[in-house]
Amino acid sequence: MGCCGQTVDRRLTITQREIDAGLTLQLEYDGGRAVNVTGSVTGKSYTFSGIQRIGKVDPRDAPAILQDRRFRLKAIIRTKDSSERS
C-alpha cells in the first residue's frame, strides 16, 4: 500500500494535504506541434510544444492529460512545506 506520493501498481497516491501545500506534477510532452490543454478540474490552461516539452501541472488536472499518450509523468515537485508535513 502506498501513500504520500508513492506509486503502487503504476498509480500515484497524492493526499489533499500535499495538494494544499503546493505539490505539482511535471509532465513531458512527446509531440511536435504546440498544444494547449485545459485542465479538467481547475480550468487552467497548459501549453506544451516541441520546444517547451516540460510543464508543471496541477495534480488534479494530470489524470485527464495523461490519458493522451503524448504525455508522461516526468517528476513530482514537492514544496518544502509539503515534504515536512508528510
Q: Write out pLDDT tens, residues 66-82.
A: 999 999 999 999 876 54
CB within 8 A of 47, min separation 6: which ones? 34, 35, 36, 37, 55
Check pLDDT > 80 for residue 1.
Answer: no
Q: Write out pLDDT tens, residues 5-51.
A: 444 466 788 888 998 899 999 999 999 899 999 999 999 999 999 99
Residue 6's pLDDT is 47
Side chain identity at 50, as an amino acid letter?
G
Is 4 inside any structural domain? no
Residue 59's pLDDT is 95
Is 18 inside any structural domain? no
Is 74 inside any structural domain? yes
The total number of structural domains in the chain stands at: 1
Whole-number CA gyration radius for the chain:
13
Residue 31 domain boundaries:
23-79
Is 48 inside any structural domain? yes
Q: What is the pTM of this model?
A: 0.77
CA 50/CA 65 separation, integer angstroms: 17
